[in-house]
Amino acid sequence: MKILVLNCGSSSVKYMIYRWGIRRPLASGIVERVGIEGSFIKHQVPGRQIYQRSKKCPTHKEAAALIIETLTSPKVGVIKEISEIEACGHRVVHGGERFASSVRITPEVLETFRELADLAPLHNPPNILGIEAAMEYLPSIPHVAVMDTSFHQTMPAEAYIYAVPYEWYRSYKVRRYGFHGTSHLYVSKRASVMLSKKPEEINLITCHIGNGVSFTAIKNGKSFDHSMGFTPLEGLVMGTRSGDIDPAIIGYIAEKEDLTAQQVINILNKKSGILGITGKYVDRRDVHKAMEEGEGQAELAFKIECYRAKKYLGAYLAALGHTDAIVFTAGVGEKGWEMREEICRGLEELGVKIDPERNRQATSRNHEFVISTDSSPVKIFVIPTDEELVFVEDVVGILEGTYGKPDFHYSFEKPEYRNELRDEAYQRELEEQG
């Protein structure tokens, strides 16, 4: 079975085509600048050079057509005909309370996503556009939605209810939802393997640090608390998002700058965080380079981000009582040894002991690392995430009727699981390093 996975953002579409029978991705890539001048596709096939092509994509419909055209291209494609694609999985950021698990998309389900669009105005609309475009080009195959929020539906009420008028929850479903669920799910399952325990036997703090940043407290294998909230704006300092602030700031700045509340919220989403503090950087690599060159604002941004992360770690260590491991993942979490070191510094009295040398060596996105000392009561792992594999296995589980049943298990939660492509890539990295 060949499965296409689509992850539609506001101005991009990430994709992967996966052959289930041999458990390998055939190709992956991204269409960038959708709806913007200069749109292009970047297409990668294992063992080949990256292919890039510019083509105007005013909407997600044209982006989907470009992906299919590339996948079936005689020169750079990996399938001969579109009919070889037998199922399609879609990322949907916000499933609200309606969906506690992945679901096959029907007209009724799609309409529900439209009704929920105001809960995630930056994310759900492009998700919907991508689904509609894919269903137009692939009308005869099953389409499955995998929700970012579904993993966090196990949070107890004391973790997800806000201290605001309860009527807001009853009438408008104002509550903490949580995001990056597929990433937190994947690394938590892998952590259970590294701990030689069953998933339901472990307590973890999983730290997804990329442009977006979210931490999850996982108790007995299930999401117990999460840093993001009603939207992905709450929580930790991020690339362009502010994270936690005093909500009174919104009204205050709206009055001072003659803005609407929504305009201020847009600034908090798109022009704050690392970008807001430095005035010009989002990529943490740029921040570190600027720090080395003596830029004070860059150093301040680094310290603020790490300090907020340290506070969340402390809170979740207290909430869990006993913690087996802390897991770092996503782009910065997997490669940013400086941030990991700073976040864990000073937590020794809480049982968190990082090994500086191990930490500095853990900068590959193709290998799992233990970066704590041998004597650390709380283990510290670096685990590269694989959200697309979660999408694929949810699709297969739904089509085979096993998803959600007691005997449904992901392949990557088994001790014998191996990602051959990542193993090969890591060996090449070691050889290049000598």
CATH for 75: 3.30.420.40
Co-location of 7 and 127 in the same domain: yes
The three-class DSSP label of residue 398 is: helix
Co-location of 143 and 220 in the same domain: no
Measured CA distances, 191 to 83, 187, 203, 263, 412 (Å): 38, 6, 10, 41, 10
**Is the Cβ–Cβ distance between 145 and 103 less than 8 Å?**
yes
Which has the closest alpha carbon to 118: 192, 37, 174, 190? 174
> CA geometry: angle at 63 spanning 387 and 272, to 5°?
60
Give residues with Cβ within 8 angstroms of 388, minimum separation 6.
5, 7, 16, 18, 25, 28
Choose the final residue of a domain: 147, 182, 209.
Answer: 147
Which has the closest alpha carbon to 152: 223, 230, 233? 223
**Is the Cβ–Cβ distance between 202 and 195 less than 8 Å?**
yes
Co-location of 211 and 354 in the same domain: yes
Give residues with Cβ within 8 angstroms of 86, minimum separation 6.
1, 2, 3, 141
pLDDT value at position 189?
A: 96
Positive or negative: CA dihedral 337, 341, 343, 349: positive
Residue 220 maps to a domain: yes
Whether 148 is catalytic is yes
Domain count, the chain: 2
Co-location of 35 and 108 in the same domain: yes
Residue 310 maps to a domain: yes
pLDDT value at position 272?
A: 95
Q: 249-276 pLDDT, tens per residue?
A: 999 999 999 999 999 999 999 899 999 9
- Judged on CB neighbours under 10 Å (0-12, 13-18, 19+), 232 is buried
Co-location of 114 and 209 in the same domain: no
Q: What is the DSSP letter of 163?
A: S
Quote the pTM value: 0.91
Co-location of 201 and 140 in the same domain: no
Residue 256 maps to a domain: no
Co-location of 231 and 142 in the same domain: no
Choose the final residue of a domain: 353, 369, 387.
Answer: 387
Beta-carbon neighbour count of residue 203 at 10 Å? 20
Choose the final residue of a domain: 112, 147, 182.
Answer: 147
Residue 229 maps to a domain: yes
Amino acid at 230: F
Residue 38 maps to a domain: yes
**Is the Cβ–Cβ distance between 146 and 394 less than 8 Å?**
yes
Residue 295 maps to a domain: yes
Low-confidence residues of the chain: pLDDT under 50: none
Which one from 148, 355, 386, 394 is the annotated catalytic residue?
148
Range of the domain at 316: 196-243+272-387
Residue 155 maps to a domain: no
pLDDT value at position 72?
A: 95
The string over 324-349, giving b where at least 16 C-beta atoms fall within 10 Å of a residue's C-beta and e elsewhere, is bbbbbbbbbbbbbbbbbbbbbeebee
Co-location of 304 and 206 in the same domain: yes
Measured CA distances, 188 to 91, 206, 313, 331 (Å): 19, 7, 16, 17
